[in-house]
Every structure is written in C-alpha cells, then in structure tokens.
Structure 1
Amino acid sequence: MSINKTEKPRRRRRSPEEARREAVVSARELLLSGGPNAVTLSAVAGEIGVTHANLIHHFGSAAGLQSALMGSMVADLNEALGAAVARLRTDEGAPLELINAVFDAFSTGGAGRLAAWIALSGDLSHLEPVRAAVQDLVVAIEEKVGLEGPRADEIIGSAVLFIALSAFGEALIGGPLREMLDQPEDASRRVVASLLPAFLTIRPHDDAA
C-alpha cells in the first residue's frame, strides 16, 4: 500500500484570537521570505492549515490581513525604537552605539521591509503610531549629545533623518551592496557613525549667515 508523504498542516480547532495571531505570524514569514506579493489569503491558509473562507471570516479580505500584519509589525517597530531610546540613555559608547541602536530597530522583525511596503502602498497612515517613538528618539539623542538651545531640535532632527534613512537602506539592500563592494557586515554603521559628528558641529546658538 502506497503512502502519500506530502502532508499539509493539520487542521485543528482554534479560537478566533489564535487563528488571527497564527495568520499574522505566517503572513510576516511570507513577507520576509517572498515580499508583499507573497502575502495572500491562499498562501497563509495553506501555511497554517485553515480554509481560504476561514481567513475571509477573520480578516474580511487580503487587504484586511495585510493591514493586521502592518499593525503588528508597526507595534514591534515601536517597541524596538523604545528599546533604542532606553539603550541611548544608558549606553556610553557614542556615536557607534547610537547608530547601532537605530539600525537594530530597523532590522528587528523586518521593519525595513515593512516601511518600504507601507511607502509603496501609498497609505502612510499606517506609520502614524511610530511618530511618538521617533520624537522620543530625537529627545534621547539630544540628551546624549548634550545639545541645548532653540536649534537643538532642528540639528538632532537632521541627524535622526540621516541615521534612519541609512538604517532603512541597510535593512533593504545593505547585504547585496556590501557584497558587491567587498565590505564587512558593519560597514554601513561605521560609515554613518563617522559622518554623524558633521551634523552636530553646528551649535544651537549659531545663526545662519
């Protein structure tokens, strides 16, 4: 007697909360391995062993599932940025540790790909919950580098923009680019750390010419 060795995930009873949670976890794995186009109801249903109709019941549509995934990952990004703020307030190793804190936040849980996905979707409202965390990061860096005065927010804001854009790029394509250029794994972080002081040389009391 022949046995079919191709097995699909066994279907089992789940509470609505369990089903949604497992679906979001699976969707994240698909996003990280295959990109946004891989996050479909059919693919997620196959991964966790439920029917397509079951996921429709829980999320309403593929867009509903994707929105739930974005919400989950934005929450994780918020948590990672919060950890970066705490790290900046306790770690004395500036500026490289400052850079590491932000780069780690963007790499945690696929946050870089999430940001790209949200930007390409055109619905930036998904990023609104991150606003407070970014503002907290500005305050933490102000405290760390000791800037004060009317232009402190402007100077630190420029520095955070530079760091965040670099961390975003590293999370998306840093690996392949470093390989092409035969650069070590921490090359991007060290380049940004070496350039960061240039953003902080203009003191808050200096006036534009």
Structure 2
Amino acid sequence: MPLSVADKPRRRRRSPDEARREAISSARDLLLTQGPSAVTLTSVAREIGVTHANLIHHFGSVAGLQSAVMASMTADLSDALDAAIVRLRTDDGAPLEVVNAVFAAFSTGGAGRLAAWIAMSGDLSHLEPVRAAVRNLVAAIKEKIGASDGQADGVIGSAVLFIALSAFGDALIGDPLRDMLGQDADAGRQVVAGLLARMLADYSAL
C-alpha cells in the first residue's frame, strides 16, 4: 500500500556538512539500537528523509558511510580517554573515575559495538586514532604512580588492556551476566577500579 503524503519522510534543504552530520548520527543510532546490519544507505536515507542517491553523493558507498560512522565514534572514544587522563592527573580519587569513563565510552558511547563491528570488518585501521589516547593513558598512570622504569610500561599496559577488555565485555554482555549472577549494575566497574587503585598504591609504595 503506497504511503500517504503525511506518512512520507519530509525532505528539507541541508548544507553538505549538515547532511553528513545527520546521516552519521542516524547511522550511529541504528548501530546502537539494531546492530551493524542495520547501517545501510537505504535505512539511513529513510531515517533522515533524503534519497539513496543523495547519500551516495556524500559518502560514495555504504562502506564510505560506515567508515565515517566508525571515525566519528572512534573520535568520541579518544575524547573519553582524554577526559579520563585529565581526571587521573588532577583527582586523587581518579581510579574509579578512569574506569567509569572507559566503561561509559564502551556502553552508552557505543564503543563496545563499534569495536565489535571493526573487528568483524577486519579493517583495524579504524582504531588508529585511539592509539595516541591509549598511550597517553598509560603515560598518565605511570606519572600518577611516579614510575620511571621500563618494567612499569608493561605492567601499566596490562592494566589498561584489562580495563578496556572488561569494558568491552561489559558493554556487549554485561547486563545478562549481571542478572544471572545477581550483581549490581556497577559491579564490574567496582572490581576493575579496585584492582587499578591497588596497583597505583603498590607502585607508589615502592
């Protein structure tokens, strides 16, 4: 049955930058609510009320759109890590704040689904912008505990890896696992923050 005039998406004039931003925002919402398979030119065009050809003009292909979404979300993840670094360098109670920032980026920020999507795509180059933020986080923790030896890099790197992997797993399957085990919503964060705080204390005591 054909859509009535009232049912059809309303189209309006947009600048090229505005059209790209709206398309990326819509694609991001589709990723978070429906998964990677929902991020198509057709679905995004329908969501924002433009033609399929219009999105082709802006992104070239569905792969171009997906790459733009990945870049946008990766930038947000980098920003979240940078914010955690600032807290770590200025706040004595920072371990939980750092963990909260990373967990939030992977859950509400969508980095968990993003990471899974990138891993399935096989193109890990999309994660390259995060590299500097991760290195800065390691450096900030090292600075916090006053460590200067090379061995600290390995230990701190392992800690950051543990935080990121925990946040990733929590974002993807944390809710049902916590429900099975009768755990609070922040149970995983508290465990990881406790381990990080203990590591900071142990190194500071040396």
TM-score (normalised: structure 2):
0.90
Provide closer, same or farther for how the CA distance between residues 102 and 147 of structure 1 changes in structure 2, counting only shifts above 3 A: farther
Task: Classify the secondary structure of the residue corresponding to 1:8.
Answer: coil
Q: Contact 2:81 / 2:134 at 8 angstroms: preserved in 1?
A: yes
Provide Cα deviations, 1:183-205, integer angstroms capped at 9, x if missing partner.
1011001122233467568869x
* Amino acid paired to 1:180: M
Structure 1 outlier segments of 4+, above 6 Å:
none
- How is 1:28-47 mapped onto 2 (pairs within 5 angstroms)? 28-47=28-47
How big is the shift at 1:27? Answer: 0.2
Tell me the distance in 2 between the aligned counterparts of 1:48 and 1:101.
Answer: 31
Could you list the per-position Cα deviations for residues 56-91 of structure 1 after superposition, in whole angstroms to 9, with x for gaps in the alignment? Answer: 111111111101111111111111111111111112
Q: What percent of counterpart residues are identical? A: 71
How many residue pairs get matched?
203
Q: Gaps spanning 5+ residues in structure 1: where?
A: none
* RMSD across aligned positions (CA): 2.3
Amino acid at match of 2:129: P
Q: Residue 127 of structure 2 aligns with which residue?
A: 127
Deviations 1:36-55 (A, max 9, x none): 00001110000000111111
Between Structure 1 and Structure 2, the one with more helix by share is: 2
Residue 89 of structure 2 corresponds to: 89
CA contact (8 A) 1:99 1:163 kept: yes
CA distance in 2, matches of 1:196, 1:11: 51
Distance 2:170 2:29 in 1: 20
Aligned residue in 1 for 2:155: 155
Q: Aligned partner of 1:89: which letter?
A: R
Q: Is the 8 A contact 2:31 2:38 kept in 1?
A: yes
Structure-1 residue corresponding to 2:51: 51
Q: Deviations over 1:95-116 (max 9, x none)?
A: 3333223223333521111111
Select between 114-123 and 172-181 the one with higher mean Cα deviation. Answer: 172-181
Within 5 A, what are the aligned runs for 1:21-32? 21-32=21-32
Unaligned runs of 5+ in 2: none
Q: Which residue number in structure 2 is paired with residue 141 of structure 1? A: 141
Equivalent residue for 2:67?
Answer: 67
Shift of 1:146: 2.6
The answer on whether the counterparts of 1:74 and 1:111 sit within 8 Å (CA) in structure 2 is yes
